[in-house]
């Protein structure tokens, strides 16, 4: 198995509060997407803006049953970049927009690992 050289994925599973409008959710998504323009260490982002029923793999179905509706994912070049991102004033401002709209969230970081299968 080969651990990605320095690359760190930052994932936030989110359940928005009842009563949060689609336009408010869209504002949060746009705010997240804009962070890549404001915070240098953000390498790229992916937002599957979905109700998990659109996904077919079992992991997403399990997440759906836990109540999460959206995933926010960022890629960083190093753990140090994640720390810099978390402390950045633009991220703090985003959190002030994000947190009042959220019923619950689960955030975690990981380094992807490649497994080579020999058949």
Q: Where in the sequence numbering do the catalytic residues fall?
A: 85, 88
Distance, in Å, from the CA atom of 79 to the CA atom of 29, rounded to the nearest integer, reads 24
Q: Cβ(83)–Cβ(10) under 8 Å?
A: no
Q: Cβ(114)–Cβ(1) under 8 Å?
A: yes
Distance, in Å, from the CA atom of 46 to the CA atom of 28, rounded to the nearest integer, reads 14
């Amino acid at each position: 198995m080969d651990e990605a050289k320095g690359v760190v994925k930052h994932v936030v599973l989110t359940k928005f509060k009842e009563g949060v409008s689609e336009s408010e959710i869209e504002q949060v998504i746009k705010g997240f997407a804009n962070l890549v323009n404001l915070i240098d260490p953000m390498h790229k982002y992916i937002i599957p803006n979905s109700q998990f029923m659109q996904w077919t793999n079992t992991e997403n179905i399990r997440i759906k049953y836990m109540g999460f509706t959206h995933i926010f994912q960022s890629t960083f070049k190093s753990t140090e970049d994640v720390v810099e991102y978390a402390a950045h004033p633009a991220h703090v401002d985003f959190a002030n927009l994000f947190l009042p709209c959220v019923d619950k969230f689960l955030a975690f970081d990981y380094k992807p690992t490649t497994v080579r299968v020999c058949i």
